[in-house]
Amino acid sequence: MPEIDPPDLRSAHVIVVANEKGGTGKSTLSIHISVALLKAGFRVATIDLDTRQQTLTRFFENRASWAVNAPWNVELPRHHALDRGNSDNVRDNETWEFGAFATAISEVEHEYEFVVIDTPASDSYLMRLAHSLADTLVSPVNDSFIDVDVFSRVHHDRTQRGQVAQYADLVLEARRKRKMVDQGIIDWIIVRNRMSSTQSNNAKQIAASLSRLASQLKFRPANGLHDRVIFRELFPIGLTALDPIEEAMRSNSLSTSQLAARREVEELIATLQLPERSRGMAHLQARHDWFERISRYYRELQD
């Protein structure tokens, strides 16, 4: 008989998909990571911190709608969309939004094996808190030195090149906090995303640059998804390349591009090296206690 952990000892593995730079495909990665884990049989919860665009929320709304009449069992996560505070007082808004985030985390951290958090392209107290809760941090980047510049300064003058930039500094600070609180380690993976099908000289330079930065900033570079139409055209019906889309499209087989898209997602999930099962551990309990202390502080502000 397999060993079963008591429910109160199980704690979720938190995956945060984030980058302060916009337009890198954070929501696309969040969608595919979540669906891949669901299809692997895990209990998955998702949290959308992008209170303005809510792309992850819209996708799962479309997926739930499709599931009503789908010819197969469509997997769905426990999803929570964070709403924006509507007060004229900034502190009241922050307090309210933090309370909503704390509630979302507390409702899923012991009942689900993975929590996937999609974040907005901005620097806020809530985004920083999400980073400090991460066990796995996935940061997508486009093949552009504009994107690299949020990690390490890009400059023609070699004496000014390579300085730690704003987003990398945010991640390093989150790592320091986690280390102090629970000795936890944030596994940071920077994913080259929306890659071109042709290997240009620029793409080679980006790959080389990330490889050099990896040892300095302590992240793992990885290849993500190519810029394929399939990732966009399936959004309205809430499906991914991992779903049996040949049935949805009433065809008997997948195209070469569709098969390649599916392989890319599967290879990315393998690269993340996520745990097969999350188990209760002392550092996870310490993280929970720390989050509870912050939650009480914000609740007191509300009162």
Buried b / exposed e across 118-147, counting CB within 10 Å, b at 16+? bbbbeeeebbbbbbbbbbbbbbbbbbbeeb
Give the helix, strand, coil percentages of the chain, each rounded to 5.
Answer: 50, 15, 40
Coil, strand or helix at 15: strand
**What confidence score (pLDDT) does residue 212 get?**
85
Buried b / exposed e across 189-205, counting CB within 10 Å, b at 16+? bbbbbbbeeeeeeeeee
**What confidence score (pLDDT) does residue 185 get?**
85
The topology (CATH level 3) of 7-302 is: Rossmann fold (3.40.50)
Nearest C-alpha neighbor of 15 from the set 35, 4, 24, 7: 35
Rounded to whole angstroms, how far apart are CA atoms 237 and 193?
A: 23
Mean pLDDT, contiguous 10-residue spans, the chain (303 residues): 39 91 91 96 95 94 94 93 79 80 87 94 85 92 82 60 78 85 84 74 79 88 86 90 76 73 92 75 58 58 52
DSSP element (H, E) containing 13: strand 13-17
Distances (CA, A) of 43 to 96, 137, 189, 239, 275: 28, 19, 23, 18, 13
Per-domain boundaries in the chain: 7-302
**What confidence score (pLDDT) does residue 155 get?**
56
Residue 112: what residue type? Y
**What confidence score (pLDDT) does residue 6 get?**
37
Residue 198: what residue type? T
